[in-house]
Chain A
Amino acid sequence: MTAIPFKTAPSLRSNRRWALIAAYACLGIFVVFFLFPPYYMLVTSLKTNAEIAELASNPWIVTDGVTLGHYEHLLTESSFPRFFLNTTIVTVIVVAITMVISVLAAYSLARLRFWGSGVLATGVFLTYLVPDTLLFIPLFKIVGWLGLLDTYWSLVLVYPTLTVPFCTWIMIGYFGSIPRELDEAALIDGANHMQMLLKVFIPVALPGLIAATIFAFTVAWANFLYPLAYIYSESEMVLTVGTVTTLIKGDVFHWGGLMAGALLAAAPPVILYAFLMDYYIAGLTSGATKG
C-alpha cells in the first residue's frame, strides 16, 4: 500500500492549469475575431478622408490625427437625425403595442386556460418561427392597400408580427413560473383580473418584462427588410435603411461617414445591452430551456 505514490493530486492540478490556459487562449482568439470589425469601423470613422484614402498607411490605427468631422457632418448636414427620430418613433410605438398585446395574452394563456388556449399557445410558438422574409411580399400588398406604403407607419403595422410571438412566449414562461398560491392570495385579498395583472404578475415577472421589452426594441430597431421593401422617401426612412442606402450615395468618399453612421445607429441597442444584458439573456435562454 505505502509503495504506491499518491500522484493524482499534482497531475490534477496541472490538468486544471492547462485547461485554464487553453480556455483563456481560446477566449482571446474569439474576442479578437468578434471585436475587430466594430473596432475597425470605429477607427475608420475617426480618420480624415485623406487618411482613409491613403493606401500606404496602416488602416488599423489612426495615424493622421483623430477627427469627429464625420460625426459632425452626419448630425448636422445629413438626414441622419431624421432617421434617428423616425426609428425612435417606430420602435417606441412598436414596443408599447407589443408589450400590451403579449402581456395580456400571456396572462390569459398562462393562467386562465380556455377552450383552444393550448392551440393558441402552440400557434404563438409557430408564428415566432416564421421569418420576416417569408411574408414580406404579401405584406407589401397589404401595406399598399392600407395606404401605408412609403411611410414608417407601415413598420408600426408589421413589426409586431415579429415581436409579439416571442414576447408572448417568454411572458407565458415567466407568468407560468409564478406560484399559483400567489394568485390565490391576491384573489382572497380582493384583486380582480386587472389588479392581479398590474399589481402582482407584472411586478413579480418584471425581469421577464424587461427581457421582452429589450427583444422588441432590438427587433424593431434592427429590421432591414421591411423598411427596405416598403419605404423609399428619405424623410420616412429608418436608421438601418437610411444608413445603408443614402449615406453611400452622394459623397465622393463616404467611408468615414458611413462607419460613423453605422456606429451611431447601432449605439442604442448596444448601450441597452450593456446595462440590461443579464435580463435579456435570462429571458432568452429561459424560452429555450423551459420550453
Chain B
Amino acid sequence: MADVTLQNLVKTFDTVEAVRGIDLSIPNNEFVVLVGPSGCGKSTVLRMIAGLEDVTGGDIRIGDERVNDVPPKDRNIAMVFQNYALYPHMTVAQNMSFGLRLRKVAKSEIRDKVQRAADILGIAELLDRRPRELSGGQRQRVAMGRAIVRDPEVFLFDEPLSNLDAKLRGQMRIEIQRLHQQLRTTTVYVTHDQVEAMTLADRVVVMNAGRIEQAGTPDEVYHRPRTRFVAGFMGSPAMNFLDCQITEENGRTVARLAAGPALPLPAEQAARARSYTGKKLVAGLRPENIREAAGHDGANSSGVPHDVSIDIVEPLGRETIVYFRLGDATLCARVGTEVHPSAGEQTSLVFHPDRLHLIDPETDLVL
C-alpha cells in the first residue's frame, strides 16, 4: 500500500490541453473519487497514474518513488476499465491470474490468490467460464477480481459501473465500498455519477477543464462548495442560481433575489456579505431549500414564503420536483409528496436562507 502524489501534473495531446496542472496528494488507504463533466480530464489523470499515458509535465509519485518513466507493469497498480477489458479467450480464472502468470508466480500461490479473490467477490463458481458467458455484473466482478489478485498498492477505477443498469450499479457500489473497507487499498475512482462519488469517497475531487476545482469530503463539496462550478455540479437537480443584491434592511443583511423574496442572511453569511452591500451577487439555493408552505415539520420558521406560479411538476414518488419561474430564471424546488401543486397553479413556496450560497460573479468563488 502506498500514497499517491501528483505534483503540477500536465498533459497535452497535440493541441488539446487535457490536464492543466493538478496537485493532489492521496494518503495511504484513502478512497478518492474524481468527478467532473465529460472531457474534463479525469480519465487522463487516471491513465497517467496507471502509466498508460506519458506525462507532459509535473510528477507522479507512488510511495516514495517518482514513477513518470516507470512502465505500467512495474508501478504495482491495478486498473478496472469501464468496459471491463476481460480477455475474451481466457476463463475467469485465467483472466484473473494472467498478470501473476506473466510474473511467474508459483502455481499454488496463484490458485490460492484467485480462490481468495473469487470468494471475496462471490464468483467462485464462475471460475471456469469465459467472459461471454457472464452477465454484466459478473464481468464487472471478474474485472475487479483481476485487480484484487495482484494485491496492488493502488486501485484505479475508470467509470467501472457505468455500463450496468441502475439496480446493479447500486449493488456493485455497495460491493466496492465493502471491498475497500476490507482491503484498505489506496483507490482512485473516476465517475460521472454523483451518488457514487458521494457514497464511496473519503474525498471527492471535482475537476473542470483540466483543473481541480475543489477537493474535500463529500460533505464539504456538497455543503460548502468553494466555487460556483462545484456548487452547480454537485447535487441533482442542480442548485438554483439567481442574481441578488445585498442590502441592509432593518439592521439585518438581506439578499434580495431578482424578482423574488428578500432573504435575511444568517449571522455568519451576513458577516461575509456585508462588504458587498449594494453590489450584485449570485445566490445559489439548492432545490431542497425551497419547500412547500405547509409547515408541518415546524422547520419553516426561518423561511421566507413567496408566491410563485408552478410550471412543471415531476412526481418522483418519494418526493416531488416542481419547476417555477422567477423573473427570467427557471427554478427548481423539492417538495414533499403530501402537497400536490399542479402545473399553472399559484402557490406559496418557502425559501430557506440558512443554506444560501453567495457567489461573487467576478471571481465565481463562493463567499
Contact across chains for A204 and B87 when beta carbons are under 8 A apart: yes
Contact across chains for A204 and B79 when beta carbons are under 8 A apart: no
- In the complex, chain A residues whose CB is within 8 Å of the CB of B81: 181, 184-185
Binds B, one of A43-51, A186-194, A245-253, A269-277: A186-194
In the assembled complex, B73 has its CB within 8 A of some CB on chain A: yes
In the assembled complex, B88 has its CB within 8 A of some CB on chain A: yes
Contact across chains for B88 and A204 when beta carbons are under 8 A apart: yes
Q: Which residues of B contact A (CB under 8 A)?
A: 47, 50-52, 71-73, 77-79, 81-89, 98-99, 102-103, 146, 150
Given A195-B102, A206-B89: A187 touches B83 (CB 8 Å cut-off): no
Contact across chains for A179 and B83 when beta carbons are under 8 A apart: yes
Q: Which residues of A contact B (CB under 8 A)?
A: 179, 181-182, 184-191, 195, 199-200, 203-204, 206
Contact across chains for A184 and B79 when beta carbons are under 8 A apart: yes
Given A195-B102, A204-B89: A190 touches B73 (CB 8 Å cut-off): yes
Bound Cα distance from A179 to B82, whole angstroms: 12
**Further pairs besides A184-B52, A190-B73: 9, Cβ < 8 Å:** A179-B85, A181-B85, A182-B87, A186-B98, A187-B72, A189-B146, A195-B102, A200-B87, A206-B89
- In the complex, chain B residues whose CB is within 8 Å of the CB of A181: 81-85
Bound Cα distance from A190 to B71, whole angstroms: 9
Bound Cα distance from A188 to B83, whole angstroms: 16
- In the complex, chain A residues whose CB is within 8 Å of the CB of B85: 179, 181-182, 184-185
Bound Cα distance from A268 to B15, whole angstroms: 55
Bound Cα distance from A182 to B52, whole angstroms: 12
Contact across chains for B89 and A203 when beta carbons are under 8 A apart: yes
Q: Which of A179, A189, A199, A204 touches B73 (beta carbons < 8 Å)?
A: A189
Contact across chains for A187 and B89 when beta carbons are under 8 A apart: no
Q: Can you list 15 A-B contacts (CB < 8 A)? A: A181-B82, A182-B85, A184-B50, A184-B72, A184-B81, A185-B79, A187-B52, A187-B72, A188-B50, A188-B73, A188-B99, A189-B99, A189-B102, A191-B102, A199-B98
**Closest chain A CB from B106 CB (angstroms):** 16
Bound Cα distance from A203 to B77, whole angstroms: 25
Bound Cα distance from A206 to B71, whole angstroms: 28
Q: Which partner residue on chain A sits nearest B75 by CB separation? A: A188
**Closest chain A CB from B343 CB (angstroms):** 36
- In the complex, chain B residues whose CB is within 8 Å of the CB of A188: 50-52, 72-73, 77-79, 99
Q: Which partner residue on chain A sits nearest B94 by CB separation? A: A199
**Closest chain A CB from B148 CB (angstroms):** 13
Q: Which of B47, B84, B99 touches A190 (beta carbons < 8 Å)?
A: B99
> Closest 5 CB pairs between A and B?
A190-B73, A189-B99, A181-B85, A203-B89, A185-B85
- In the complex, chain A residues whose CB is within 8 Å of the CB of B87: 182, 185-186, 200, 203-204
Q: Which partner residue on chain B sits nearest A188 by CB separation? A: B72
**Closest chain B CB from A196 CB (angstroms):** 10
- In the complex, chain B residues whose CB is within 8 Å of the CB of A182: 85, 87
- In the complex, chain B residues whose CB is within 8 Å of the CB of A189: 73, 98-99, 102, 146, 150
Question: In the complex, which of the residues B82, B84, B102 has the most CB atoms of chain A within 10 Å of its own CB atom?
Answer: B102
**Closest chain B CB from A183 CB (angstroms):** 9
- In the complex, chain A residues whose CB is within 8 Å of the CB of B51: 187-188
Bound Cα distance from A220 to B314, whole angstroms: 70
Q: Which partner residue on chain A sits nearest B73 by CB separation? A: A190
Bound Cα distance from A188 to B81, whole angstroms: 11
Bound Cα distance from A184 to B77, whole angstroms: 12
- In the complex, chain B residues whose CB is within 8 Å of the CB of A200: 87
Bound Cα distance from A200 to B51, whole angstroms: 20
**Closest chain A CB from B151 CB (angstroms):** 13
Q: Which partner residue on chain B sits nearest A185 by CB separation? A: B85
**Closest chain B CB from A202 CB (angstroms):** 9
- In the complex, chain B residues whose CB is within 8 Å of the CB of A187: 51-52, 71-73
Question: In the complex, which of the residues A182, A185, A186, A195 has the most CB atoms of chain B within 10 Å of its own CB atom?
Answer: A185
Bound Cα distance from A284 to B24, whole angstroms: 51
- In the complex, chain B residues whose CB is within 8 Å of the CB of A190: 73, 99, 102-103
- In the complex, chain A residues whose CB is within 8 Å of the CB of B71: 187
**Closest chain B CB from A184 CB (angstroms):** 5
Bound Cα distance from A182 to B89, whole angstroms: 12
**Closest chain A CB from B105 CB (angstroms):** 11
Question: In the complex, which of the residues B77, B82, B84 has the most CB atoms of chain A within 10 Å of its own CB atom?
Answer: B84
**Closest chain B CB from A171 CB (angstroms):** 16
Bound Cα distance from A176 to B79, whole angstroms: 22
Q: Which partner residue on chain A sits nearest B85 by CB separation? A: A181
**Closest chain A CB from B163 CB (angstroms):** 12
**Closest chain B CB from A269 CB (angstroms):** 28
**Closest chain A CB from B132 CB (angstroms):** 12
- In the complex, chain B residues whose CB is within 8 Å of the CB of A199: 98
Q: Which partner residue on chain B sits nearest A195 by CB separation? A: B102
**Closest chain A CB from B104 CB (angstroms):** 10
**Closest chain B CB from A111 CB (angstroms):** 13
Bound Cα distance from A197 to B88, whole angstroms: 14
Bound Cα distance from A190 to B150, whole angstroms: 11
Bound Cα distance from A138 to B132, whole angstroms: 51
- In the complex, chain A residues whose CB is within 8 Å of the CB of B86: 185
- In the complex, chain A residues whose CB is within 8 Å of the CB of B99: 188-190
Bound Cα distance from A227 to B144, whole angstroms: 57
Bound Cα distance from A12 to B81, whole angstroms: 49
Bound Cα distance from A191 to B47, whole angstroms: 17
- In the complex, chain A residues whose CB is within 8 Å of the CB of B146: 185, 189
Q: Which partner residue on chain B sits nearest A205 by CB separation? A: B89
Bound Cα distance from A59 to B50, whole angstroms: 74
Bound Cα distance from A278 to B62, whole angstroms: 49
Q: Which partner residue on chain A sits nearest B97 by CB separation? A: A189
- In the complex, chain B residues whose CB is within 8 Å of the CB of A191: 73, 98, 102
Bound Cα distance from A189 to B72, whole angstroms: 8
Bound Cα distance from A45 to B160, whole angstroms: 65
Question: In the complex, which of the residues A182, A188, A191, A195 has the most CB atoms of chain B within 10 Å of its own CB atom?
Answer: A188
